[in-house]
Structure 1
Amino acid sequence: MSNRPRFPRQWDWPGKQKIAFTVGIPFEAFEKQSQVNFVASRGQLDRFSLSYGDYGWKAGIWRLMNILDEFELKSSISANGLAAERNPDIVRMFAQDGHEVLGHGWANDVYAKDATPEEERQEIKRCTDLLTKVTGGIRPVGWTSPGSSGSEMTNELLAEQGYIWVGDDASDDLPFVQQTKAGPFVTLPRTNIFTNDIAAWIFPANPTSVFLENFKETFDQLYREGEEGCPKWLSITLHSHMAGRPTMSNTIRRCLDYVRQHDGVYYARSRDVAEWALRRDARG
């Protein structure tokens, strides 16, 4: 009996690494409410909730960037257009430091699923134009919709405007390519909700040690599969206004240090992963 893993998809990374690892940092702004809301009904203006979101640009993003500097890692910053409009110098800094800046809708509490196709097309263009301007001419090629709530037209609209990847999916451990009217287009699934800090802050009331344990368990399984000849990909998601708070800092360091203890890791930005997926697809 063969012990070969049964995964149907063959995959490899540029240097034949065992696992790819990316860091995603949502940099968000809100019109009425952030993810934390104690009293107001959904859709109502809540100033305390908005102040929770403001922590990201005032304090959280700086703490996260310091940690990334410690580990010499480059991340993918998913920036709402409104966040970039209010904080252009911060977004410009990201790009100049070599981080990927990707589109994340205009405001994080406004969802594409509620828009018409033309409204969505115009929002993508508005965000693209602004992010290109504030980064000094670096056009974004990636997009994740607020709440990952893209519409059935999102991928086509993004490809039409020159994007190469989207993150509105949770169906796989690896990127996959679809054909659009504008050509091949990559989906980068959210590989595991347990490595997204929103699981620690918004859902269960767990200590940060649970986040660390979930991260290690996820990494260990995917790394093992890579050692067995089936490389995978893991991303950690750190919201600037959530993971950027001091409570999570040492836990994030422990997660990153754990990855560094392993060889054969492909450290990449999401853009790098998407571009590699396109090259693999083109070679057949």
Structure 2
Amino acid sequence: MTTPRRGMDHDLYPFSAMPDRSPLHWPDGARLAVCVLIHLEYYELEPPETSWKDPRFTGEYGFYFPEYRPFTQREYGNRIGLFRVLNALQGHDLKLTVAANAAALERYPRAVEILQSHGAEFVAHGEYQSRMLTSDMTKTEERAVIARTTRTFERILGVRPRGWLGPDSGESARTPQLLAEAGYDHLLDWPNDDQPYLFQTTPPMVSIPNQMEWDDVTALWLRKVPNQRYPDLVGEAAEGLAAEGGRSFLLSLHPWVIGQPHRVKYLRAALGRLAAVDGVWRATAGEIASHCCRFWGAG
């Protein structure tokens, strides 16, 4: 007879109930770590037939190929929406983390230049947004994707990336360990907590939860939450987490969605709600990971 185990059916991290944890303290007594995560993504018009794409976005305008309208909607974010989002963020003293596909770094140098001028920290977001990591890949194939992505970041940005967010959060069960072996120290794929925690990889990696509840694509595009509700969605979540203390909050922004002219005013309102929250530590994903390692004595 099989003996039940606590938690999920893997050994990536142990089960941890919030009441059983020691408090997590942020710098200067802050109650909430806030990270703004902007997505810089490149979708292929004709991805390889063997590649995996998030099925939620397949056949958005019918069953034809190539899908020009979905492709150009995404491209709108890199041509127009990104800069509208950056304008909305001005004056809020928020640090920017950018999840960038390797192909986006190569194809959108002007966007990269402007994001660098804003002091953005870049995390690797795979090679192409239209090619998810999946368990159908071999270990060798997956390791090669990680290696190619890392080399592109080093070549274009002049620095090795520390953080990883898979395209559409796609992973296999072996991805965290492969990332740890490649020198990554934090991961943003797992929305299963309100605090960062350690993966049991070798060496250990920090998982920084990237919640989908207030992610703009999930909320506004897929779940069709009314745009007018977005500021309260962001504000109420941040206020609730700050009241509990020792929590983290990632505001995930996709310029092709939130950078549309009819939505950006709701982003401005959401940022106003966020600015009104007391006890906020404004940080990049890398700063959150580094602080947690020091706090836990794990790095």
TM-score after normalising by structure 2: 0.84
Structure 2 counterparts to residues 45-64 of structure 1, below 5 A: 45-64=66-85
Distance 2:114 2:45 in 1: 27
Q: Specify the SS of the correspondent of 1:195.
A: coil
The ranges of structure 1 where at least 4 consecutive aligned residues each deviate by more than 6 angstroms after the TM superposition are: none
Structure 2 gap ranges (5+): 1-17, 47-52
User: What is the SS of the residue equivalent to 2:205?
Assistant: strand
SS at match of 1:25: strand
Residue 3 of structure 1 aligns with which residue?
none
What's 1:119 paired with? 141
Instruction: Report the Cα offset of residue 86 of structure 1.
Output: 0.7
Residue 283 of structure 1 and its aligned partner are, at CA, apart by 6.6
- What is the identity percentage for the equivalent residue pairs of Structure 1 and Structure 2? 29
Contact 1:68–1:74, Cα closer than 8 Å, also in 2: no
Are 1:24 and 2:34 matched, yes or no?
A: no
The question of whether the paired residues in 2 share the 8 Å contact of 1:177 and 1:277 is answered with no
| CA-CA distance at 1:144 after TM superposition | 0.6
Question: Which consecutive residues of structure 1, in runs of 5 or more, have no partner in the other structure?
Answer: 1-5
| Residue 8 (structure 1) aligns with | 20
Q: Secondary structure at the match of 2:91?
A: helix
CA contact (8 A) 2:125 2:166 kept: yes
1:271 is aligned to 286
SS at 2:147 equivalent: helix
Tell me the matched-pair count.
270
Does residue 157 in structure 1 map to residue 178 in structure 2?
yes
Q: What is the DSSP-based 3-state SS (H/G/I as helix, E as strand, rest coil) of the residue aligned with 1:193?
A: coil
Any residues of structure 2 matched to 1:92-241 within 5 Å, and which?
Answer: 92-113=113-134, 114-135=136-157, 137-181=158-202, 183-190=203-210, 192-226=211-245, 231-241=246-256
Residues of 1 paired with 2:95 and 2:185: CA distance?
19
Q: Counterparts of 1:283 and 1:87 in 2: how far apart (Å)?
A: 36
Kindly indicate whether the alpha-carbon contact (under 8 Å) linking 1:200 and 1:208 is maintained by their aligned counterparts in 2: no
Q: Distance in 1 between matches of 2:25 and 2:179?
A: 26
Q: Is the 8 A contact 1:25 1:77 kept in 2?
A: yes
Q: How does 1:251-266 map to 2 (within 5 A)?
A: 251-266=266-281
Q: Does the Cα contact within 8 Å between 2:123 and 2:161 map onto a contact in 1?
A: yes
In structure 2, C-alpha distance between the alignment counterparts of 1:166 and 1:68, rounded to whole Å: 24
The answer to whether the Cα contact below 8 Å between 1:195 and 1:237 also exists between their aligned partners in 2 is: yes
Find the counterpart in structure 2 of residue 79 from structure 1: 100
CA-atom RMSD, angstroms?
A: 2.0
Distance 1:282 1:239 in 2: 34
26-35 vs 102-111, greater mean Cα deviation:
26-35
Cα offset, 1:96, TM superposition: 4.3
Q: Could you tell me how far apart the structure 2 residues matched to 1:105 and 1:60 are?
A: 21
